[in-house]
Every structure is written in C-alpha cells, then in structure tokens.
Amino acid sequence: MAIDPRTPVIVGVGQFLHRAKGLDDAFDPIRLMVEAIRIAADDAGLAGVPAPDSIRVVSSLSWRYGNPAWLVAESLGVSARELASTTMGGDSPQSVVTATAAGIQAGHLDLALLVGGEAWRTRMRYRKRGERPDWPTAPADATPVKIGAEMEMSLEAETDRGIRQPIQVYPMFETAIRAADGLSPDAHLRRISELWARFSDVAAGNPHAWVRQAMSAEAIRTPSDRNRMVGLPYTKVMNSNNDVDMSAAVIMCSVEAADRLGVGRDRWVFPHSGTGCSEHQFVSHRDSFTRLPAVELGGAMALELAGIGIDDASIIDLYSCFPSAVQLGARSIGLDPYDETRQITRTGGLSFAGGPWNNYVMHSIATVVDELRQAPEERGFVWANGGFATKHAFGVYGAEPPAGGFKLGSPQDQVDALPRRQLAAPVEAAGPATIEAYTVMHGRAGPERAIAACLLGDGRRAWAISDEADVTSALLDGEWVGTRVTLGDDGNLFVG
C-alpha cells in the first residue's frame, strides 16, 4: 500500500547521558543536545546530521542561551530556516512532536530536529563552588520562534501563601487520593512504594536511565540519611530526580524525505494522533484533587483519533514526576496503576530514569519508538504533563502508517465548561473548614510547614498553612483529610 508522501514519520531517536567526574570534563546542555542529535542521525542510518527545515529545542532551565537552537545549528554546522524553542512545561516534548507532525503533513516542513537537554547536575556543582559556568549564549538578535503559549502556573493568592512548587502540590494530590480510596496512611504508603519499586525495576534495565540500581519498596518508603522525607508522604526518591546531565533527540520528516534520505523502513515509526489540553489553570480553581478531567478527555480523544482503545496500546509511558501523577493519569485513561501485570513506564520514570526538567518525555518518545521497532504490530501511548498536573499532551504511535494520516485535536472547550471552585481570601475563610488535601514539608532537620487545602461550608476553597510544631507533628500522625479545623483570618491553620 502506497503511503501519502506528506505523512509525518520519526526516523531517528537518540538519548545521551554524561556522568562527569567534575567540572573539567562536564558538558553544557548544548553539547549534550548535539550528542543526542548525532546519535539520532546514526540511529536513522544516516552518514551525518541532515540539513533540517527547523531545529526545535525544548526550553532548558540549566542555562539561559537566548536561542539554543542557534547554538545547536552552529555546533552541528547546519543551517535551518527556522530556529525555535518551546514554552516551559513537561508537556513540551509531546506538544512539539504533535506540532511538527501537523506541520509536516500540511507541507510547512519536510524535516525537523527536535531536541532537549539539561546539565542541572553540573550547574549545581558550579553553584556549590560559588562559580558561574562559562557557557555560551546566542547573539542578542537571534530571537527564536516560540512554539506553544506560555501559561502562568500559580495564582498570586497561592504564591502569597508560599505555595509555588511541585514538591508541595503533588503530595497534596496524594493525600486526597489516599483518603478517597479509604486506605490508612501506612497501607497507602506501602501501595505507592510498591508502584515506585516497579518503576525502579524498569530503570534498572534501561541503558539510558540515570539510576540503574533497583530499589525495594521498603527502601523507597523508609526515610534515611540518603532518602529523607521531603513532603509527606513522599521521601526523596518519590520526587522527580532533576540532578542529571542528559539529553534526547528525535528526527522527524515526511515519508518523501525519509525515502529521499534512504532511511530503512525498519527505522520508521509514525505519530498516529496528538492531542493537548489543560486543566483549569490554577489549582485553587480545580473542582477536585482526585481527578484530572483534562486527561480523561484529552487521552480519550487521542486514542479515538488513532482508532484504538487504551487496551490496544501495549507500550505505554505515563508522566511520572510523583506517584500521584501516575495514579491520576492512569485512572484517567482507564488503567489500574497498581496492576503489576501491566507496565505503565517504559523508561523507569523521572525519579529513576531521570527528570531533566521539561525534556523527560523526549526520552519517553525515544524509548517508545525503539520498542515499536521491535514490536511493529503494537501501538504506543505517551502522556506528557506540565505544571501542577496542569498542561497535558498525548500521542499515539505505531510502526505502521496511520489510516487517513496523522490526526490532531483538543477537547479544551469541554474542559473549560467543567465546574470550577472559587477561592476564598484568608479573611473570608476565617472560621471552621474541612481539610480536603494536605502535606507537611520537611527540611533536612525535620518537619517545617504544614500546607492544607480546605473546603468551606459554601463550597469555596481556602489555603491554610502553619509553621507551628504542634500542628506539623499532628498532621504527621493519621489521616486528616475530612477533618474539621479552624482557619485564622491570616490563613493560619489551627487543629485540635
């Protein structure tokens, strides 16, 4: 059967990690990216990196390059008519694959290099020495094309309460999930540590993973000198591991270009569909801490556009910055996150395979592509997430070309029509309230701050915090979701 020459196809993937012994042998993110692109070109069976129409870089947090795609092009010795970078967010790699596939199919592009990388481990080594790396920047007039729209992740009322980091919000999702499932804290901790141990096992067998020593469930859930508590109920290894130097790249082109370049058909993997959507922008306005309706709708749309159901996808990688993300994401697309017979990570996840900030899912896609080449009759499904489970992107992949071409869509109008909560200001929320989700943040010396999302009698949400030892110690014991508490007019939390 003849394939439409405009059909987008992935022909090469590359993953690279560098374990520098110190700063003298360390790589900056651009060099990491260049290495990944060269590996991807070799993976495609090419003699060198092909001249692209576009170089598209996932935004990096390790260094402000200005236009990283310009530096990638210069390092590779290639020119491209478009030099682009994505907006921030872990959804970016899948979003840029979707946008690139659509552009190729429409005839706007013929070949693109997609890449991202972080040298956060090295950057932190410089910081500990009080030094700043001498890494390059692009010329001031080399402004990149921006792919995607920036989204503010935090409401001012949240940042005013000091609630601004994923390590604070995802543990709150976790306590809400636990209470909704009716499990004791100990039983639920055991369950999620077993889930994470399965991820660790996958990373141990992944040659591109940062941590390749498998951890037991008991070691994962037990605080220790090397695995301290961060945000109840998460120990350190239940958080994304950003202390990595790693990169990943994807070469995408039209079928016509793949034939022209002489890429063997055994290297081809096709994006079948791509969707994207966002939850209500701020956590304060979400209806519930135990559902991700945008994932429900966006995931279902991606599968429907590809003409399959989730049970038809055997190669799955779900975004895995924290256990709560995996549980919410899996349930949203119709999977049991605790089913030991069905693996829902192909890399080992951000804790073990590595969490290079926005670029983790480029590693997911590269891994899924590799596996689909080995099992061409199967289908792959990827979920990418950015923010506080805020922005989502989904992709379905296969070694066979998609019937009717690549398809894309978004259910954003449906998401926007869903119920949302109002947030009460501290002075309005003063008085009785009920905890719906909470965590206790820890420093190296122990518990420091309790954070609780509370519901008022009229259904509005209110944030409450406390740095008092009697409150933080109380919330460390037992289940507090559903408990009546008192909020001060300054937003402080009182228990007992």
What distance in Å separates the CA atoms of residue 387 and residue 292, rounded to the nearest whole number? Answer: 13
In tens digits, what is the pLDDT along the chain, a chain of 496 residues? Answer: 689 999 999 999 999 999 999 999 999 999 999 999 999 999 999 999 999 999 999 999 999 999 999 999 999 999 999 999 999 999 999 999 999 999 999 999 999 999 999 999 999 999 999 999 999 999 999 999 999 999 999 999 999 999 999 999 999 999 999 999 999 999 999 999 999 999 999 999 999 999 999 999 999 999 999 999 999 999 999 999 999 999 999 999 999 999 999 999 999 999 999 999 999 999 999 999 999 999 999 999 999 999 999 999 999 999 999 999 999 999 999 999 999 999 999 999 999 999 999 999 999 999 999 999 999 999 999 999 999 999 999 999 999 999 999 999 999 999 999 999 999 999 999 999 999 999 999 999 999 999 999 999 999 999 999 999 999 999 999 999 999 999 999 999 999 8
- CB atoms under 10 Å from CB of 212, counted, come to 15
- Virtual torsion, Cα 314, 319, 324, 327, nearest 10 deg: -20
DSSP string, 396-428: EEESSPPTTS-EEE--HHHHHTS--PPBPPHHH
C-alpha pair distances (Å), 158 with each of 58, 130, 152, 482: 27, 31, 12, 22
- Virtual torsion, Cα 335, 340, 345, 348, nearest 10 deg: 150
pTM for this structure? Answer: 0.98
Q: How far is CA 89 from the centre of its chain?
A: 7
